[in-house]
């Protein structure tokens, strides 16, 4: 009997060793350390749940209620719209969409812990569809951020907000595309495209990655922006742009953008040969504001802009980004190619008249 048990145990041990050798994943599962959900670290990279990311980010996503005075009863405020917002700083700064608060006479912010605040509007920017609010409160949950994170197509993302005032809701998807432009309600800007559902009330909420870090501010679905019946196409304003606009609004109450008044066209290899230009990067001046800074500085049609303040020009979008970040009233040195020869022009930056 003892010999039988010994043979059985030995056979079992040999079988187990063979299985561990043949199937490496069993070794990982057997010896993986157990981690409590109360820890501040994700369980492991293979987990199917994104509970860690939601628990980390959701307390900083607030509900926003847009209140306006009633036309019939001038002293009566009524809720006219709703949206979401993201607490960006322990000083009480909250980012949301411009279109959520643009027409509000009063803005109410509701935190997930049940606290309610009347928010002060710090500033709003129509072009990027962003606005900054501030509440006076302590112990505010702040959204985690990571300036080194670079959104890429295929990254898993979660959209957190308050759709249809149902209460905080999280939807799931991936980043479908980056650098989408021309989809804004109010102007051209680069969006992140995602298939995570964004519905009415989600506007201004957080798009986060699987670590709960802010990827962008949810702004619209394709259907909302174009009135076309579509599903799975939504947009968010990237974190990098959000942070830059937020800082400008906090500093000045509005976004002050530089302006030189040039209408340009990107150069390609064929055009470079026609213009006797050896390099292929640059923007050709096709027209100018007759009263703009470029006209006064001496730019000419068919000049090829190569550099602005020693920063190489790669395209129209690049020129716009460089110029809008320059402070009106300052001078910029622009390198252009004119008749095949480099020319340097000093231009006094103006204030964007479209603001």
Cα separation, 95 vs 84, whole angstroms: 9
Is 262 known to sit in a ligand binding site?
yes
Q: Looking at the structure, do residues 225 and 170 belong to the same domain, yes or no?
A: yes
CATH of the domain at 110: 2.40.10.120
Q: Looking at the structure, do residues 191 and 285 belong to the same domain, yes or no?
A: no
Average pLDDT over residues 277-299: 85
Identify the domain boundary among 190, 222, 253: 253
| pLDDT value, residue 308 | 93
Count of structural domains within the chain: 2
Range of the domain at 272: 258-351
Q: Looking at the structure, do residues 231 and 314 belong to the same domain, yes or no?
A: no
- Is residue 6 in some structural domain? no
Catalytic residue set: 99, 129, 203
Q: Looking at the structure, do residues 338 and 246 belong to the same domain, yes or no?
A: no
Residue 183 confidence class, pLDDT cut points 50, 70, 90: very low
- Is residue 164 in some structural domain? yes
Is 175 known to sit in a ligand binding site?
no
- Is residue 186 in some structural domain? yes
| pLDDT value, residue 154 | 92
Is 264 known to sit in a ligand binding site?
yes
Average pLDDT over residues 58-83: 81
CATH of the domain at 332: 2.30.42.10
Q: Looking at the structure, do residues 187 and 294 belong to the same domain, yes or no?
A: no
Q: Looking at the structure, do residues 48 and 114 belong to the same domain, yes or no?
A: yes
Interval 312-336: pLDDT, tens: 888 887 888 888 889 999 999 999 9
Interval 18-63: pLDDT, tens: 555 555 554 544 444 444 445 555 555 555 789 999 999 999 999 9
Cα separation, 212 vs 144, whole angstroms: 7
Strand partners of residue 238:
216
Structure tokens at 254: 């509005």
Identify the domain boundary among 234, 253, 272: 253
Q: Looking at the structure, do residues 232 and 265 belong to the same domain, yes or no?
A: no
Strand partners of residue 218:
236
Identify the domain boundary among 253, 277, 309: 253
Q: What pTM does this model have?
A: 0.76
Structure tokens at 268: 């390609």
Cα separation, 124 vs 107, whole angstroms: 13
Strand partners of residue 128:
none
Q: Looking at the structure, do residues 280 and 328 belong to the same domain, yes or no?
A: yes
Beta strands per DSSP E along the chain: 61-69, 77-87, 93-96, 106-110, 116-125, 130-134, 156-161, 169-180, 191-194, 206-208, 214-221, 234-238, 258-259, 262-266, 283-288, 304-308, 311-312, 331-338, 341-348, 350-351
Q: Looking at the structure, do residues 236 and 312 belong to the same domain, yes or no?
A: no
Is 329 known to sit in a ligand binding site?
no
Is 296 known to sit in a ligand binding site?
no
Helix (H) or strand (E) segment spanning residue 229: none
Q: Is the pLDDT of residue 339 over 70?
A: yes
């Amino acid at each position: 009997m003892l010999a039988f048990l010994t043979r059985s145990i030995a056979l079992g041990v040999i079988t187990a060793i063979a299985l561990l050798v043949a199937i490496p994943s069993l070794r990982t599962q057997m010896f993986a350390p157990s981690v409590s959900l109360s820890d501040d670290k994700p369980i492991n990279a293979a987990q199917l749940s994104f509970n860690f990311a939601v628990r980390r980010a959701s307390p900083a996503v607030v509900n926003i209620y847009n209140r306006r005075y009633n036309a019939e009863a001038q002293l009566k405020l009524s809720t006219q719209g709703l949206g979401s917002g993201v607490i960006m700083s322990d000083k009480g700064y909250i980012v949301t969409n411009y279109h959520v608060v643009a027409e509000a006479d009063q803005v109410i912010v509701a935190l997930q812990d049940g606290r309610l605040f009347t928010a002060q509007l710090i500033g709003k920017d129509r072009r990027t569809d962003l606005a900054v609010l501030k509440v006076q409160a302590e112990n505010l949950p702040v959204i985690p951020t990571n300036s080194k994170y670079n959104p890429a197509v295929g990254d898993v993302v979660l959209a957190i907000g308050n759709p249809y005032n149902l209460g905080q809701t999280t939807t799931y998807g991936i980043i479908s595309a980056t650098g989408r432009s021309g989809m804004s309600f109010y102007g051209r800007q680069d969006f992140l495209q995602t298939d995570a559902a964004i519905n009415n009330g989600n506007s201004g909420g957080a798009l986060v990655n699987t670590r709960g870090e802010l990827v962008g501010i949810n702004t619209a679905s394709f259907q909302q922006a174009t009135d076309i019946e579509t599903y799975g196409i939504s947009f968010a304003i990237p974190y990098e742009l959000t942070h830059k606009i937020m800082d400008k609004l906090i500093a000045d109450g509005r976004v002050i953008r530089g302006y030189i008044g040039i209408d340009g066209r990107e150069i390609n290899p064929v055009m470079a040969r026609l213009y006797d230009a050896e390099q292929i990067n640059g923007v050709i001046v096709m027209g100018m504001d007759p009263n703009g800074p470029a006209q006064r500085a001496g730019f000419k049609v068919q000049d090829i802009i190569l550099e602005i303040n020693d920063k190489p020009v790669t395209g129209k979008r690049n020129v716009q980004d460089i110029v809008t970040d320059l402070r009106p009233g300052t001078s910029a040195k622009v390198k252009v190619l004119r008749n095949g020869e480099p020319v340097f022009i000093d231009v006094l930056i103006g204030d964007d008249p479209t603001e």
